[in-house]
Amino acid sequence: MASPFTSFWMAGFECADHLNSSRQRVSLLKETAHDLLVKHDYERLKAFGINAVREGICWSEVEISPYKFDFSRLERFIEAAEETGIQQIWDICHFGFPDDLNPMNPHFKDRFVALCDAFATFFNLNKSDDTFPFIVTPINEVSFLSWLGGEAAETEPYLKGEGWNVKYQLMKAYIAGIEVLKKIDPDVKILTTEPIVNIVPPLNADDFQINYAAEQHELQYQSLDMLCGRICPELGGKPGYPDILGFNYYYNNQWISGFKEFLPWVNTAEDMRWRPLSSLLEEAYSRYEKPMIISETSHPGVHRPEWLNFITEQCIETLSQKIPLLGACLYPIIDRPDWNDITLWHHAGLWDHDGMDANSRDIYEPYARCLNRCEKLLKADDSLISYEDIEIINSIG
């Protein structure tokens, strides 16, 4: 399998359009003005050798009434990609559903299938050539979304104690969506995007706490196991449905089970519970044996360069184990506001946005210099990128 990506480093544009904890609709594409500046944003990426991006179609905006769709707002995105030579990877549902719909609605699956059908048809009619493969994430972060809406009650359907049921309904729609996508375009590639985490017991834990943490750690794979048909076979999952596994990893992806406490992302204390990202990726690869990417990663504030150095080191370590890691996506590439307080900006992007001027794009120079160094570091050693079955050289330029 040749890498389907045009660059190792990718960029993600925040596209959440869900109802937040206050039941207010957010539209982060609009808050960041990416919907207006898409071509300029793509041109900025080219200077860093970033040629692939993650985008979202914003379901709440394109389904104007049940089963009726208007994708005209996406024409600007497709045109910008073609004019700049940028490859787009599409989230059909990032975070967000139409006002009258949530995963527990009996019509959720049918309407999601209709969305997949309509978008795939639209995209194939509007693209000018077949330079890039059609790569789609049906639903982003099912594990997190089912917790957010089914356990924490911070988004639709605002439930507690229903995480499993929300996850089940999301995966029912996910799998049915893949089936229609493959009918329209048999060559479509399915990219999953799920958090990769490390859940550990407290220090001096008893047997119960140790076993409970291990069980909680295992649950991170439920969505992928459903997709591959390992559990809940009635949903129709198949081992061949995911083509590439995307894993989202942030500084707070390792925590202590039963406590609101995170392990530091730098293991200065030499805590034996902490695991390198490369170890977590190896665990996932051993389980599924699929090519993978880091589909989201970033750090807020002044530690952006240090975080990127850490991620690059982990990428190199993963590649040295002959694991087909095809890329890493800097997410968000443009700074984003908080979902629940859009006046609060995270300062996590390669470019900051001041939240006032729609054209604001202030590059964070330490991050930019670090990215240039990291790109050279990844290219420096050809021994890291020699595989019999993965033409990884093409994916890193």
Per-residue pLDDT at 359: 82
State both tokens at 59: 């379901």
Separation between Cα atoms, residue 175 and residue 9, nearest integer Å: 28
User: CA 218 → CA 161, 175, 205, distances in Å?
Assistant: 19, 21, 18
Question: Looking at the predicted structure, is the pLDDT value of residue 396 above 60?
Answer: no
Separation between Cα atoms, residue 115 and residue 98, nearest integer Å: 11
Separation between Cα atoms, residue 206 and residue 204, nearest integer Å: 7
Q: Which residue has the higher pLDDT, 351 or 355?
A: 351
CATH superfamily to which 9-395 belongs: Glycosidases (3.20.20.80)
Give, for 68, the enclosing helix (H) or strand (E).
strand 68-69
Banded model confidence at residue 147, pLDDT cuts 50, 70, 90: very high
Q: Which of 70-79, 126-135, 245-254 is predicted least confidently?
A: 126-135
Banded model confidence at residue 392, pLDDT cuts 50, 70, 90: very low
Q: Which of 177-181, 207-211, 366-370, 389-393 is predicted least confidently?
A: 389-393
Q: Which amino acid is it at 128?
A: S
Number of residues in the chain: 397
Measured distance between the N- and C-terminal CA atoms of the chain, rounded to whole angstroms:
17
Summarize the confidence of residues 264-286 as an average pLDDT: 94
Q: In a 10 Å sphere around its CB, with 0-12 CB exposed, 13-18 middle and 19+ buried, how is residue 22 labelled?
A: exposed
Question: Looking at the predicted structure, is the pLDDT value of residue 358 above 80?
Answer: no
Q: Sign of the CA dihedral 259, 263, 264, 269?
A: positive
Summarize the confidence of residues 26-40 as an average pLDDT: 95
Whole-model pTM: value is: 0.94
Separation between Cα atoms, residue 316 and residue 322, nearest integer Å: 10
Q: Which residue has the higher pLDDT, 322 or 386?
A: 322
Per-residue pLDDT at 177: 98
Q: Which residues contact 137 (CB under 8 A, 6 or more apart)?
A: 54, 89, 90, 91, 92, 190, 191, 192, 193, 246
Per-residue pLDDT at 387: 32
Per-residue pLDDT at 1: 57
**Residue-range domain boundaries for the chain:** 9-395
User: What stretches of the chain show up as alpha helix (H) in DSSP?
Assistant: 28-31, 34-46, 59-62, 75-84, 108-126, 142-150, 163-184, 207-218, 222-227, 277-288, 304-320, 365-379, 392-395
Question: Looking at the predicted structure, is the pLDDT value of residue 390 above 90?
Answer: no
Summarize the confidence of residues 213-221 as an average pLDDT: 98
| CA 123 distance to own-chain centroid | 20
Banded model confidence at residue 395, pLDDT cuts 50, 70, 90: very low
Mean pLDDT of the chain: 93
Per-residue pLDDT at 210: 97
Task: With beta carbons less than 8 A apart as the criterion, state whether 89 and 135 touch.
Answer: yes
Listed residue (283, 129, 117) closest to 197, CA to CA: 283
